[in-house]
Amino acid sequence: MSSTEQHRRAQSIQISKSGALSQDTPKAGGRSTDVHVSKAVAGSLFDFALILSLVLGGCCSNVWSYEHLLKLDSHLGTTLTFSQMCFITLHSLPSFLRWDQQTYTPRLQRRHIPLRQWIAQVLVLTSSSLLNNWAYAYQVPLTVQIVFRSAGLAVSMLFGYLFWKRRYTLPQITAVVFVSAGVVLATLSRPSSPSPGSSDSPPDFSKYTLGIVMMTVSLFLTGILGMLQERTYSTYGPYWKEGVFYTHLLSLPIFVFLIPDIRHGFQSLSSHTAPVVPTPISVTSLLTTYAPYFVLAANLITQLMCVSAVNQLTSRVSSVSTNLVLTTRKAISLCFSVWWFGNGWNAQLGLGAGMVFAGSLLYTLVNSGSKSHSSTESPSGGIPQKTRKKIE
């Protein structure tokens, strides 16, 4: 999940470049121009519909696969984090490999940003990801996690005020206070006991409190990561792909100290597979036998789909539209989690979630209408417009 946030933060730097539409369209007269315009509009609408489907389908599927795995074993957090780091590293690797024409051996291309700049980001990213994925083992249900992560908006505003000397309008502050109150309300709700069809154990207040503390630390680490990225990209340029690759690659040695947890995770996945593959072998039998591993693969792939779709959406529509879609996605994921997995639900959690979603939309609308863009951060947490212009 935190990798997804990092992608969004890093790629927000490129929005103004990738989202700009070309103004060099040939000016042909008459019906030919109309045909070209119609085709362009139709193509844009098709692309938008496809991207929207990927956001809602890919991101919601990612949340489903994530919760499905944690339902199998709530202590899979380390294994999930390690798998995500490996997958993103391997996916990014081909873009940074260059083959030596004399020795025909692969080597990494020259970096634009010094390696030392990534060290702090690696530690923060890995710690945040691990804490986030460990929280489920401390009886923090995904319904509360979805709502709780929205408090990152308040953390970003706090850090922007303290460290970047940004000033926010009263409507912006009101929206963030509304979101924060909703998060507190949802967190204190301690959702009711799971439904009869759920495999969850009865809530334990001490474990739940520790899980909330872990998520709080993760939120602040994510805010620190955003500041580190902002400083790095404003100094060396918006090489976000290089940042994604090296922060994930350099995080892998850390998992040497977590090998027992990783081994336990894969053993747990294996214990949920069928001992013998039924014959004759078919696609259905393989899917049934190795279901946990297919769900893990689906989680990794849908995470990539979700990140890609969100950033494509951001480059094609306004920040208001993007945040409306993402808020809708969160609401769908929340409802789906309650319905599919039978997670506990009560009026206090529902009210808190409603306040969070309403406050998020209010902040988006207020922020988009603000005329002083240089004093506020972008909704996605990227570099402010003033800094972004300097980079470009």
Nearest to 378 by CA among 172, 125, 126, 224: 172
Structure tokens at 10: 């890093």
Q: Quick check: is 222 in a domain?
A: yes
Count how many domains the chain has. Answer: 1
Please determine, for residue 378, whether its predicted confidence score (pLDDT) is greater than 60. no
Q: What is the mean pLDDT of residues 83-90?
A: 94
Per-residue model confidence (pLDDT) at position 342: 78
Q: Quick check: is 62 in a domain?
A: yes
DSSP H helices, the chain, are 2-11, 15-18, 30-72, 77-92, 116-134, 142-148, 152-163, 170-188, 205-236, 240-249, 259-271, 283-289, 291-316, 319-341, 347-369, 385-391
Question: What is the 8-class DSSP label of residue 98?
Answer: E
Q: Which domain holds residue 231?
A: 2-17+35-391
**Mind listing the pLDDT tens digit for each residue in 132-141?**
999 999 989 8
Weakest mean pLDDT among 24-28, 57-61, 283-287: 24-28
Q: Quick check: is 13 in a domain?
A: yes
Q: Quick check: is 274 in a domain?
A: yes
pTM, two decimals, is 0.76
Q: Quick check: is 25 in a domain?
A: no
The residue with greater pLDDT, 57 or 242, is: 242
**Mind listing the pLDDT tens digit for each residue in 109-124?**
999 999 999 999 999 9
Q: Quick check: is 160 in a domain?
A: yes
The residue with greater pLDDT, 64 or 23, is: 64
Q: Quick check: is 29 in a domain?
A: no
Q: Quick check: is 385 in a domain?
A: yes
